[in-house]
Structure 1
Amino acid sequence: MPSMVVIPSNGQPTRRIRIDRVDSIVCHRVKNQEEQYLVRWETTSRSQNPPLSWHNLKELSRCLELVQDYIDALDKLFEKNYISSHLLKKRKSPDTADEHERRPSPIDRHFHQPSRTPSTERSPSVSSSSLSVTTHNRLAATASSPEAVDIYNGVLDTEDGFIFARCASSPGIPQIDVSKVPTIDMLAAARGVMPKNAELMIRAQYLRQLARVPGKKIHLINTHDASSPSLRFRYINDYVLREGVYKADPATQMGCQQCSPRMGRDIGCEYTKKCDCLEYAAVNENSLDENQKMLYEKIRAEGGSTIGLPKKFPYFTEGSKMQRAGCLVPFYLNSRRPIYECNDNCRCGPNCRNKNVQFGRTVELEIFKTGTHRGWGLRCRENLAEGQFIDTYRGEIITDMEATRREESSNDKSKASYLYSLDKFAESENLAQEDIYVVDGEFMGGPTKFMNHSCEPNCRQYTVSYNKHDCRVYDIAFFACREIRAGEELTFDYLDKEEEDEIEEPEDKAEAVPCLCGAEKCRKWLWT
């Protein structure tokens, strides 16, 4: 099965659009059986009427995120211009269309287009180092209809092998008021053209991005339409720290020194009383004897280290009955206690029982279109055991001030669903609100960005730290809080179980964010 879309060549080298010179895509058409998109170019002055030029998809291969932005806004564009928006409603998925009209998927077969005959009159491709004004004058003079025009308000040029447009106003160059673009005639032509080839290329590009994500394969399924998640989303393997955000000095990351790789069962750390990494881990109060209870009460009142008191390692080990190795033990699974894993400075070795989340995702996931107002969702292609690790929530770590700015400047009320405060230790460490960092996973992160909310979730988020002395930067890890069958959507509670206050009925429902989870015990509102 081909892994990418292949567009037949007309025999001439194709130059690509220089993306840093492009402002936006403003319309589309079909000319000579070829999908073309109208590029609005950036100008150095606001007073200039920017050039606009038509380009095929091969020339736009480095600008597919802009093409996707345009396609996603088509309904609003037609509605704004009083043209029926039924175009996108007629879009069919390559997985659901009738056989005689089924669109080829980029993962099913090669992309087919009719062979193209070289023609400078119909193609905006640059065939020389620069297109002269004279050439464009000739093109404009022979244009008998608006559809024949390939460029307005300028001429095409090249730089370092890339196409860009520059302003020009010679008598023979077609001029157009950019405020009137797209024109009614352009929109009328676009109305009958489904951007199917662009959607296939966008899907193929997104699949290539998924293929580069470490870990088991991530699939993309959409049986409802031909859309794909945003190409602007960047997959990252670790947090990206923004201005004003700092991790604790690496010198503070101390490992356990009394443990070794082989302490009895060849599983690294064997005894919680010897593992220094568990210094701040929760004490197993049920195992305290009378003397230990007295000591523990004194430590809680006056402060001090709990090393030496009975604790629990967070994960089951190989050979554990009725449980899979690596799954959370009930002591952690059924609580909100932070998890402290061993790190590279430990003497317990690389295969320590107390190392899990830091190795990354080991399950095969699937991003899928829900077909409801909940957009995209995430599910697993294999059964998950109770307490099994799924993946972490990644993104940019920003300051509280920056998070507030982003939230206030966003026109999307759901922005809060991508912001996650790293406030687990705020109370115990007396952190002020302005000193708490926030993870923003909207623009970059991992596949867990697509996990939807549920008031009755099957997953739960846990704090996982590899440096017990860093109370401001740590991982947010998702574990299955019950057995999950393959194909069941993965969900978690956006409000977190620690936030036990009931959601009050909002006074202004227009400003509130409704909950769409559909659970039997749905709280009806996410934020009020």
Structure 2
Amino acid sequence: MPSMVVVQGSGQPTRRVDPRKVHSIICNRKKGEEDQFLVRWKSEIKFASNPPLSWHSLNEIYGCLELLQDYVETWSRVLNVAASRLHPPTKRSTPDSEGESERRASPYINGRSSTPGSRASPVTSVHTTSSFSSTAYSENSTTYIDVYNGVLESKDGLISCRNVSRADIPEILIKNVPTPDMANVARRLGRGGIQNANILIRAAYTRKLEQVPGKKIHLVNVVDSSSPSLRFQYINDYVLRDGVHRVDPAAQVGCTKCSPHMGRDIGCEYTKKCDCLEYAAVDESRITSPEEKEKYQDAIATGKPTMGFPKKFPYFAEGTKVQHARCLVPFYLHSRRPIYECNDRCRCGPNCRNKNVQFGRTVELEIFRTQGGRGWGLRCKTKLYEGQFIDTYRGEIITDAEATRREDSANTKAKASYLYSLDKFAESEGLEPEDCYVVDGEFMGGPSKFINHSCEPNCRQYTVSYNKHDCRVYDIAFFACRDIAKGEELTFDYLDKEDEEEMENPGEDAIPCLCGAKKCRKWLWT
């Protein structure tokens, strides 16, 4: 693949199509040395059978890279469908048509297509609102038609096209586009254009990654020439949709008995003093005296606060083993206990040992194309230690009803791969399933979107809260559940099942698991 795209120019100021008025990109060709793509414009007439169409260079459609990516990804299929029109199924002749040759209907209407081998006279098909014009020619091996069903306009440097029906303007029905001739040209001469389009798309996606906060995110693909969807939007925090509300920030409280300097200059030092651990799990193994056991059992039975009982901070503090600093302690790593971090209202200072996930990702990641049909994957550029934080799962927070609607409209169980229910506290807080929010990371989120499933994962997701009084909105954080070598693919269990849990019998629309693990459950969604 070439390392750069050279766009031929005429020395005139660059004009680009107005992306707001483009419907789609539906074909490509080579005109001289220039790669061109056929733009279908939005029509003022809904469901128009002959919307405006025009050919444009890669430079001119640069603002429509998402639509260009749509076309590139379906290029072969689109051309195969078009080519099939050239040889329709043979029909038996009726008695009164015997002896007549069967002709393929012309894709052009009003008889405006030139016959093979003939040359049409140049006709102007542009309405100019500034100094911009283009010429349309007949479509054959030596001449070209540049505009169909309309006229081009240029205003403020943006090109658009509007419907116009006139004797000198070639017309074509959209159902016939691309025509077999267009498909043939695209297949024979358009591969270079597709290759150059992929280079532009890859460069655009790389620029998106450069805008993501934190350590650098790389993009690697040695399998094919594709790139992840340009429509995916990287965000730094949740986006709350209709019907979703956080607890009033005024309800957030911090620890009041701690300080930045309590002995080792690491903020909170004593779990019995840190108010942020009020709802954190009690370390029952450290309750040894009969009196304390009795008090603890009474607190559990009556719902009394558990402050004062032995608890643990979730992370190893600085000054312990270097590889363990900020990593999860076993008490949390090997359980599903929720993690409560200190927050900005705390008196423990900005560098408290109990602050980690809220600082964001600190490891360098690589999005890469996997083998075996598993799409894109994620791996780390450095070794990860057991319990080390990787990144959070971000996206839109939607209601349960909206999540159900999106699943139904997707018409595939694969949609569940992007939905994550925020139901960690449903049982303890008496929340009904329909009252819990759901995170949808399909269209916006972070690089963790690309973490694939495995029945034997090396990562695990944990609940992390910065506001102990908000049981419906909290972070989902990925941590390494074992040491992970540099370059090893990151995976987690989409179903979050324990080893002893059984899978349901697969239905007709079940999705097979492709993780390849020795203990693979064979099915992802049943």
Relative to the length of structure 1, the TM-score reads: 0.87
Inter-CA distance 58–300: structure 2 relative to 1 (3 Å threshold): same
Q: Distance in 2 between matches of 1:258 and 1:281?
A: 17
Structure 1 residues not aligned, in runs of 5+: 85-120
Question: Quick check: 1:171 aligned with 2:167?
Answer: yes
Mapping for residues 11-26 of structure 1, pairs under 5 Å: 11-26=11-26
Larger displacement relative to structure 2 (514-523 or 35-44):
35-44
Counterpart amino acid of residue 250 in structure 1: P
TM superposition shift of 1:143: 6.5
**Counterpart position of 1:377:** 377
Relative to the length of structure 2, the TM-score reads: 0.88
Contact 1:391 1:448 in 2 (8 A): yes
Inter-CA distance 173–146: structure 2 relative to 1 (3 Å threshold): farther
Larger displacement relative to structure 2 (394-403 or 155-164):
155-164
Mapping for residues 380-419 of structure 1, pairs under 5 Å: 380-419=380-419
1:135-167 CA deviation, whole Å, 9 max, x = no partner?
66xx34677669601110001112332111101
Alignment counterpart, residue 181 of structure 2, candidates 182, 185, 198: 185
Inter-CA distance 452–123: structure 2 relative to 1 (3 Å threshold): farther
Contact 1:385 1:482 in 2 (8 A): yes
Q: Distance in 2 between matches of 1:526 and 1:123?
A: 58
Question: Quick check: 1:251 aligned with 2:247?
Answer: no
User: RMSD of the alignment, in Å?
Assistant: 2.4
Alignment counterpart, residue 520 of structure 1, candidates 513, 518, 521: 518
TM superposition shift of 1:34: 1.3
**Counterpart position of 2:113:** none
**Counterpart position of 2:213:** 214
Find the structure with the greater CA-based Rg.
2
Contact 1:140 1:172 in 2 (8 A): no
Q: Distance in 2 between matches of 1:304 and 1:124?
A: 80
Mapping for residues 219-238 of structure 1, pairs under 5 Å: 219-238=218-237
Structure 2 residues not aligned, in runs of 5+: 86-121
Q: Distance in 1 between matches of 2:22 and 2:47?
A: 17
1:466-498 CA deviation, whole Å, 9 max, x = no partner?
000000000000000000000000000001146
Contact 1:259 1:348 in 2 (8 A): yes
**Counterpart position of 2:298:** 298
Q: Matched residue of 1:377: which SS?
A: strand
Inter-CA distance 212–126: structure 2 relative to 1 (3 Å threshold): farther
Q: Matched residue of 1:463: which SS?
A: strand
Q: Distance in 2 between matches of 1:143 and 1:505?
A: 57
Inter-CA distance 313–421: structure 2 relative to 1 (3 Å threshold): same
Counterpart amino acid of residue 260 in structure 2: P
Inter-CA distance 122–453: structure 2 relative to 1 (3 Å threshold): farther
TM superposition shift of 1:424: 0.4
Contact 1:55 1:125 in 2 (8 A): no
Counterpart amino acid of residue 422 in structure 2: L
Larger displacement relative to structure 2 (382-391 or 499-508):
499-508
Inter-CA distance 147–197: structure 2 relative to 1 (3 Å threshold): farther
Contact 1:50 1:153 in 2 (8 A): yes
**Counterpart position of 2:279:** 280
Contact 2:254 2:342 in 1 (8 A): yes
Question: Quick check: 1:149 aligned with 2:148?
Answer: no
1:267-299 CA deviation, whole Å, 9 max, x = no partner?
000000000000000000001132221111111
Inter-CA distance 336–145: structure 2 relative to 1 (3 Å threshold): same
**Counterpart position of 2:501:** 501
Q: Matched residue of 2:416: which SS?
A: helix
Contact 1:316 1:323 in 2 (8 A): no
Counterpart amino acid of residue 177 in structure 2: V
**Counterpart position of 2:157:** 161
1:499-526 CA deviation, whole Å, 9 max, x = no partner?
9531133242xx0011000000000001
Q: Matched residue of 1:30: which SS?
A: strand
**Counterpart position of 1:112:** none
Counterpart amino acid of residue 75 in structure 2: L
Inter-CA distance 206–275: structure 2 relative to 1 (3 Å threshold): same
Contact 1:224 1:369 in 2 (8 A): yes
Count of aligned positions: 484
Question: Quick check: 1:365 aligned with 2:365?
Answer: yes
Contact 2:126 2:153 in 1 (8 A): no
Q: Distance in 2 between matches of 1:30 and 1:125?
A: 21
